[in-house]
Structure 1
């Protein structure tokens, strides 16, 4: 983390000093401004810094600067886990580097940095009625992302080679399921936590798969039993989602592995030579679907540019949202705006069987319990 901070500090040195803390009236006034009203203020600021959990921020940066040539967007690709640590550390040091925070891992975000006053919500007024209340309260969801079981559809044109998550505990899949280490990336820990929380469904899926009720072996429930059995079957833990994608999706394999990764990474199949596809019908669920949220730092250096950037990332008035949403209008991402059609090459959201990630203090406590349990399995 110190290395990351040093690299970022070097990039941020040229930024203007933080503005004086704004009054509530000033914040409310900015929150009600249109993009046209924000623009001259944002041009005077001249820059906006974004912490982003996805590398697609590079494409957003190029598109934003093309739309607003007088504003320099500085995008930093930082995982949600690292962002949370960094934002807390900066807050303790009374430092504000990011103006916009683009992040997932909502169970931790809401408890540790939203309730902690490190970030504040902002919803562009022109789109507020086009985002369902559940996706803008208490903080704005830009899209729903995923961590789901994927397979190689070139090797398996008839569909996935498994029909249950419990298949991943069989000997034939020993050492042949890839996943980013859940102790390093919060979204994969969220996946394990949801398996724990959906214990009744996991128990029913076990009985359906093996023809007998599950017998627990010193654990609390069927979800925890799956986690224990899964890790006992030697999953391959890697550093990045790209590592999972390459292992699972590379074309030309006779017997490729399976892996938990992002459904939206199918967008790179042609460019990367992959054949990734989601195992949507795996029982009881292929994984999780979760919010990717946009927020503003509690005391942003560039408050007008921050709001203009979020407005841009929520898409324009064209049919598919224009260049601000183009990096996210892909199969496997589900935009929060109801007026933009779902991507035609993706499973419709109503037919997608992933569990919707819920954020609460109780779920966050279970998440910590699951993390501690995984430590004992390693």
Structure 2
């Protein structure tokens, strides 16, 4: 065979096998993916939670020979980085673990920067809403939290409008919603739930709400009143948690953070607890999404990592899901039982976000907040 024939044959084989292999990967079990992933040798994950470090250790113990590299970055940072890398023709991530669904769906998925993948092992264990358009590994939160050491009988407020009163002037804390998308989504949801906010206002103060000029609804009025009441904006969730939760405070602030951060109470010296009896809601619950980078260089290892993050076949999800089996995180798999110390999901009063509705007014609310600041 001539060199010309060899090259032609090699090219033909490549054309025939590479697309087929790419298609076959989605149907492969973890056992079938493993040897291919070991050949690739590594997998890089962009993660919106620092808990990826614990996943990394467990994954590498379960699958020797595959190096998992986790980068902890907020969803806002991930979105900017993925867009910049795509524009530069760089493919750094294999797996994207991210929240901020309203932007992820419209600016990453719709632009073809990420792709959906559902491990066949768990496909029948996930409701359709958690498989499409992207895989949801769990539900996370941004909700009102308080210091239970200072308030052993329960939350010191029973209505969101309490946060706008003189008692709480300068004592409500949250991450700047213009820096972190999930906190902006919280503000947007408050606007989308304006009818409920108006009813809660009347229940709290005994009179119908009156809107100031420029505030179109009760949700915008609440945000304006919250900022006028000197809400404290910080740059990180850890700052919120320490301010609210640190033990030994006679008069601690209250604020919005992740319910699941209560897991760190003992290690950090906090007394964080969720306010789950607040009208009309304590905040939002939203999906933590897993997706493949559209230009992954390690497609088998990427799929194996996602499979691992969905947990094993035990009722708690095993080592792959262990960092997320905590009060305040809710598995999307129907066969993983709720954490015994968590408020049951059916009793949890947070609003479930609608990414499409949020995306429609997100920029408008961001502009509104910018003026308030």
TM-score by length of structure 2 reads 0.94
Q: CA deviation at 1:24?
A: 5.1
Indicate how the Cα distance of structure 1 residues 227 and 35 shifts in structure 2: closer, same or farther if over 3 A, else same. Answer: same
Gaps of 5+ in 2: 1-13
Q: Deviations over 1:160-192 (max 9, x none)?
A: 111111000001101101100100000000000
From 107, 111, 120, the counterpart of 1:112: 107
Output the CA distance in 2 between the equivalents of 1:355 and 1:319: 26
Q: CA deviation at 1:23?
A: 5.8
Tell me, what secondary structure is at the counterpart of 2:153? Answer: coil
1:268 aligns with 2:264: yes
Output the CA distance in 2 between the equivalents of 1:295 and 1:23: 21
Output the CA distance in 2 between the equivalents of 1:363 and 1:149: 20
Q: How does 1:61-210 map to 2 (within 5 A)?
A: 61-210=56-205
TM-score by length of structure 1 reads 0.93
Partner of 1:309: 305
- The number of residues matched between the two structures is 359
Query: CA-atom RMSD, angstroms?
Result: 1.4
Q: Deviations over 1:237-269 (max 9, x none)?
A: 111111111110111111111010000011011
Output the CA distance in 2 between the equivalents of 1:160 and 1:317: 37
Tell me, what secondary structure is at the counterpart of 1:125? Answer: coil
Partner of 1:298: 294
1:369 aligns with 2:364: yes
Q: Deviations over 1:63-83 (max 9, x none)?
A: 111111100000000100010
Q: Deviations over 1:297-316 (max 9, x none)?
A: 01200000000000000001
Q: Deviations over 1:42-64 (max 9, x none)?
A: 00000000000000001011111
Partner of 1:326: 322
Partner of 1:254: 250
From 204, 214, 222, the counterpart of 1:226: 222
Output the CA distance in 2 between the equivalents of 1:318 and 1:285: 33
Output the CA distance in 1 between the equivalents of 2:101 and 2:65: 33
Partner of 2:50: 55
Output the CA distance in 1 between the equivalents of 2:268 and 2:296: 38
Tell me, what secondary structure is at the counterpart of 2:285? Answer: strand
Q: Deviations over 1:141-162 (max 9, x none)?
A: 0000000000011111111111
